[in-house]
Amino acid sequence: MTNETIEVRKLSIADIDQYNELLRYAFQVTEKTLLDYGWENDEIRKSKFPVLENAHVLGCFDRGALVSQFAVYPMEMNIHSAIYPIGFITSVATYPEYSRRGLMSMLMKQSLLEMREKGQSIAILYPFSIPLYRHRGWEIISDKMTWRISDAKMLARKDVPGYVRRVPSDSADLIALHTRFAKKTHGCLFRNDLAWDEYWRWDVDDTTVAIYYGEDHTPLGYMVYRIDADTMYVKEMVYINMEARMGLLRYINAHDSMVDEVRGNNYSGESIAFALSDSDIKETIRPYIMGRIVDFELFLGQYRFRGEADGTSLSFQISDPFLEWNNGTYTVELQGGAGKLTTKPSKHKVKLSIGTLTTLLLGYKRAPDLAALERIEASDETIELLDAAVIRKKPYISDYI
C-alpha cells in the first residue's frame, strides 16, 4: 500500500465523530466503559469539542476518512522556576490497517515543527510504547509512584493549627492552590480550563476534594480521593508546606474506622516511606512521562543552570534522529545561572543524543549516571562540571491528558 491517497490537515469540529471513533477504537473504550463512568454518547461527543477548538489536532485522511491523528495541547510548565510554553501530546492513534506506513511519524514531525514556530521548545507525553518514542528522540523525564498502606492509623497524628474542609471540584480555592503549587514546583504543569476538564473526565460521582486551610484560613494543601469497598484511593495530594502535609495525613488518619487500606499516587520521584511514622508501606515505581526538546537553542534561552558552574563553558555535540535542526555542536557559556551560545571553543566537550540531553536538563537523571550507562561521551572532568551545572531536582508531573 502507498500513501498516495493520504491527505494531512488540521481537524475541525466537523471531524468530531471520526475523532471520537478513532480514539475509542484505538484505546478500546466501549459503550459499557462510558456507561460505567456515567457518560452517554452525546456527552462524550460534546466533551471533545474544546479539544478540537483549543488544541492543535493533525490528522491523516484516506479518501475523506480519518485514519491517524496526533494532538498537541498548549500548556505551560515550570522548569527550574522558568515558565515554559510547551506542547502536551495526546490522542495519538492510528487504525491497525494503516500502521507501519509512517503516518504517525509524519504527523509527529509536522506537529513538532509547528510547535517550534509557536515558541514551544519542549514537548511531553504519556507513552504507550517507550521504545517507539525513544527511537524518535524522546526520553523518560518523570516517574509515578503508587503506595499502599494497610492501616490508616499509621499515618501522622500530630496536631496542626489549621483545619480541613471538603469543597466542590470547581472550588476557586482548589484552582488557585494548584497554580500556587505549580509556581514553586519544578516540572508541574499549569492547568488551564482544558487541563482541568481532562483531570476530572473519568472520575466517578463520589470523588471528593478536601482542602487544608491554615490558621489564618489560607488554603495550603488539597487531596482528591474516593472511598470504595473499605479502601481510600488518593488520586492526588498537593501541599505547600509540611503543616499542610501533616494536616492532610491527619485527615486520612481520621478515616481509620471507615477504611482498611489507603492507596495513593506520588509524583515527586522520592520515596515517602522515610517521612512516615511507620514505614510499613508498599511502594511501586514506574516511568510515567516522556519528553523531548523541540528546539535546543529556543529551550536554552529560558533554561536555568546552577550558579556553581558560572564562568565556565560546555560544548554540546547533539544528535537528533528525528528533528534535523537540533543536530550540531553548541558551545554554551555559563554566567549568572544562564547559558549563552558562543563561538568561543570549550575544552569541555559533551557528546549525547537529544533524548539524553532532555532527561539530563530536566533533572531526571544526573550526568554521572548517564555516563555510566554510556549515554554521554565526555571526560571525567567534564562530567563533573556538567553535574555541577544542572539543578538536581526531578520533575513533578501529575497530569495525564
Strand order of the β-sheet with 376-377 is 338-342, 328-335, 313-319, 349-353, 376-377
Q: From CA 291, how far away is CA 357, in angstroms rounded?
A: 10
Q: Which three cell numbers stand for residue 4?
A: 498516495
**H helices present in 222-305, as ranges:** 242-253, 296-300
What is the end-to-end Cα distance of the chain in Å, rounded?
Answer: 33
Residue with cell 465523530: 17
Q: pLDDT tens across 157-182, in order?
A: 678 999 999 999 999 999 999 999 99
Q: pLDDT tens across 189-237, in order?
A: 999 988 888 888 777 678 999 999 999 999 999 999 999 999 999 999 9
Q: From CA 118, how far away is CA 85, in angstroms rounded?
A: 9
Position 211 scores a pLDDT of 98
Position 50 scores a pLDDT of 61
Which letter, b or e, does each residue of 12-27 get, where b requires 16 or more Cβ atoms within 10 Å of its Cβ?
eeebbebbbebbbebe
What structural domains and CATH numbers belong to the chain?
Answer: 6-125 (3.40.630.30), 145-286 (3.40.630.30), 295-389 (3.30.1050.10)
Q: Give Cβ neighbours of residue 354 (< 8 Å, ≥ 6 apart).
A: 137, 292, 293, 296, 318, 319, 320, 321, 323, 326
Q: pLDDT tens across 323-372, in order?
A: 999 999 999 999 999 999 999 989 999 999 999 999 999 999 999 999 99
Query: Among 191-195, 280-284, 379-383, whose mean pLDDT is lowest?
Result: 280-284
Judge contact between 278 and 217, C-beta under 8 A.
Answer: no
pTM: 0.90
Query: Residue 178 in 3-state DSSP?
Result: helix
Q: From CA 70, how far away is CA 94, in angstroms rounded?
A: 9
